[in-house]
Amino acid sequence: MIDDIIGTVFKASVAASTIRLATPYIFASLGETLGQRSGVLNLGVDGIMLMGAFFGYYAVLTTESLILGVLAALFIGGLMGLAMAFISVTLKAEQGISGIGVYLFGLGMSELLFQEFVGTPQSVDGFPRISIPGLSDLQFLGLGDIFFNHNLLVYVAFALVPMTAFVLNRTNFGLMIRAVGQNPEAADAMGVSVTRVRYLTVTLGGMLAGLAGASLSIALLNVFQQNLTAGQGFIAVALVYFGGWRPYGVLLGAMLFSFVNALQLQIGISAPEIPSEFAVMAPYVVTIIALMFASKRRERPDALTVPFERG
């Protein structure tokens, strides 16, 4: 049995599965990282993902245009992010509660729209797999299949990690985000518009959450159903904490969580004598354990969830 498990861990298909599973988490967690680094907690990520998933899906279903699908998901995600920003920044509502409200709105509205405009689940022609020339054929350790044989949104998600890290750590805009999340009064005194920065980050976060939903409905699953995300948005929020509010930390968390998920699917086949309940529990147990060890290197923004009051 131990041999089965070890063999499973190093299976190329598990690694490829890990990368596919991690994609929506990376989009959503990176977006949430931007918002939280500026001091806004958005618990409505899952609802925004659902709306992004539906709008992206519906756009592709009706127009057969993948670009329009992505744009639709970005648009609705941005709109919901804007709404969340208005509630939490302008109205200064309690962020946790308002985030749950946004989630419930997305859950119900996406279902309603689906019933009204689509009805029965239909598959769409989503993003096809793109084999990177010269790399997808790499046989060594199955690297070709693991890294270079995915759909476009998978590559985009992974490319966004260094880009987000760069923006956060190497640009003026990133400096403003961090300043606003760490000490909004000081940032305000330096002439930074706390409100504008928070609006921008939460809206951007919404757009990425919408894209996370679209990555499911028009790239990985190519179908829409009620509550399609199955709570992935909440995991994405947890991954921000796990990742210590850093893009590479978020990537690590998404990969770890997805790896254990992929592993449990493979173990069900390679070692069926292990009860599936234990295997399914594993990703969550690993996440909790990892969070315990990650706690020491946290960079929690001091002003997270705290509304800014000038003067």
Contacts with another protein by CB under 8 A lie at: 13-14, 16-17, 20-21, 24, 111, 114-115, 119-123, 216, 220-223, 225-230, 232, 261-262, 265-266, 268-269, 272, 276-277, 280
Query: What is the nearest approach in angstroms of another protein to the Cβ of residue 198?
Result: 30
Q: Which of 116/309 has CB closer to another protein?
A: 116
Please say which residue, 89 or 124, places its beta carbon nearer to another protein.
124
Is residue 57 within 8 A of residue 70, CB to CB? The reply is no
Q: Shortest distance, CB of residue 89 to another protein, whole angstroms? A: 30
List the alpha helices (DSSP H) in the chain.
2-9, 12-37, 45-63, 66-85, 95-117, 143-147, 152-170, 172-182, 184-189, 194-215, 232-242, 247-270, 276-294
Cβ closer to another protein: 230 or 288?
A: 230
Does residue 218 contact residue 23 with C-beta atoms inside 8 Å?
no
d(Cα 202, Cα 22) in Å, to the nearest integer?
22
To the nearest whole angstrom, how small is the minimum distance from the Cβ of residue 77 to another protein?
18
Shorter beta-carbon distance to another protein: residue 169 or 227: 227
- Distance (Å, rounded) from C-alpha 26 to C-alpha 28? 6
End-to-end CA distance of the chain: 65
Of 207 and 220, the one with the shorter C-beta distance to another protein is 220
Q: Work out the angle between the directed axes of helices 12-37 and 152-170 (0-180°, nearest 10).
A: 40
Q: How many CB atoms lie within 10 A of CB 76?
A: 29
The CB-of-44 to another protein minimum distance in angstroms stands at 17
Q: Minimum Å distance from CB 269 to another protein?
A: 5
Q: How far is the CB of 283 from another protein (least distance, A)?
A: 10
Instruction: Give the residue from 111, 124, 109 showing the smallest Cα distance to 218.
Output: 124
**CB of residue 109 to another protein, shortest distance in Å:** 13
Specify the amino acid at residue 281: M
Q: Which is nearer to another protein, 117 or 173 (CB)?
A: 117
For residues 141 and 12, the answer to whether their CB atoms sit within 8 Å is yes
> Of 142 and 174, which has the nearer Cβ to another protein?
142
- Smallest separation, CB 60 to another protein (Å): 13
Tokens representing 123 are 């598959």
- Length of the chain in residues, anyone? 311
| Pick 88 or 264: Cβ nearer another protein | 264
129 phi and psi angles, rounded to 5 deg: -70, 140
For residue 290, the Cα-to-chain-centroid distance in whole angstroms is 19
Contacts of 300 (CB under 8 A, 6+ apart): 245
